[in-house]
Structure 1
Amino acid sequence: MRFLVVFVSLITVATALNCYICNSLNQPDCTTNFQQFNRVCPVKSFSGLKAVKPVGCRVTRQYVNEETSIVRECAYTGENVEKKSNKGSLGVSRVYSQCSEPVCNSTNSSFHFFTAAVLVALYKLFS
């Protein structure tokens, strides 16, 4: 019986999804030193659903007027996307990416962040 409990525990740990989980507004290291925020994604309950497992990791760059923030989190819905943008209320826009591999919500280079920021700035300028 102990063997079964240990075996099931090992399988659960092996199949757990890790993502970087942080918000640069209250954790400034989330922007560049995010490796310290590597966490196991919890199973959550929301919108009347119970025990929803994470499907991936997400990183969102949010631009509110002149302020930029980065949110790294576990994703519970959606699919893999790269630099998808959406516009919120006046002065708010977001660029996000979602992936299904463990700890894949990093910024692989500052070039990607810079490119996204330039694209959003150009969009705001010409919209």
Structure 2
Amino acid sequence: MKAIFYCLLAIVAVSIADELSVKNSSHKKLFCYKCNTVDNSSCASPLNKTAAKDFLVDCTDVKEKPILVKDKDPVGCRIIDMTVMEQNRIVRECAYSGHNVQRAKHAGNKGVISYVTQCDESECNTAKPLSVVSASTVLIPVVAAMILRY
């Protein structure tokens, strides 16, 4: 029984180490959804899964970078949920500055309010289910604890 537990523990450790090595790589590719609801209503939340594949871009690709950040590496993906003159708009984009935040409120000029969410993993600027690795990282210890208990 202990052997099973240690095997499961080793699997969890390897999956966590793998995730950390990808996150800490300075030359990793970062893919984000890039769209806005002004140009395409399919960009709205929740993101239309059929249209989503058309919005996916490689943020490390120079042609995707705005002029002001051509020399910067992407740090994450961003969703901006804004209200402009009482009209709701969603903008999804690559982020080249900032840090992870959840719905940070920004008040702009009169009539403009935005909520910014920024994350640092590929394809994170849309709601998505847990990845297999993330789910297994959570589930394996729970299952192991249940097995060892009986």
Task: State the structure with more CA Rg.
Answer: 2
Unaligned runs of 5+ in 2: 1-26, 129-150
**More strand by percentage:** 1
- Which 4+ runs in 1 deviate beyond 2 A? 42-45
Unaligned runs of 5+ in 1: 1-13, 109-127
Amino acid aligned to 2:38: L
Bigger RCO (CA 8 Å, 6+ sep): 2
Q: Does 1:73 align with 2:93?
A: yes
- Structure 1 vs Structure 2 CA RMSD: 2.0
Q: Does 1:40 align with 2:53?
A: no
Q: Identity over aligned residues, as a percent?
A: 40
User: Structure 2: how far apart are the matches of 1:107 and 1:89?
Assistant: 29
User: What TM-score, normalized by structure 2, do the two folds share?
Assistant: 0.57
Matched ranges for 1:1-80 at <5 A: 15-31=28-44, 32-33=47-48, 35-36=52-53, 37-41=55-59, 42-43=61-62, 44=65, 45-46=67-68, 50-80=70-100
Amino acid aligned to 2:57: R
User: What TM-score, normalized by structure 1, do the two folds share?
Assistant: 0.67
**More helix by percentage:** 2
Amino acid aligned to 2:58: V
Task: Give 1:50 shift.
Answer: 4.7
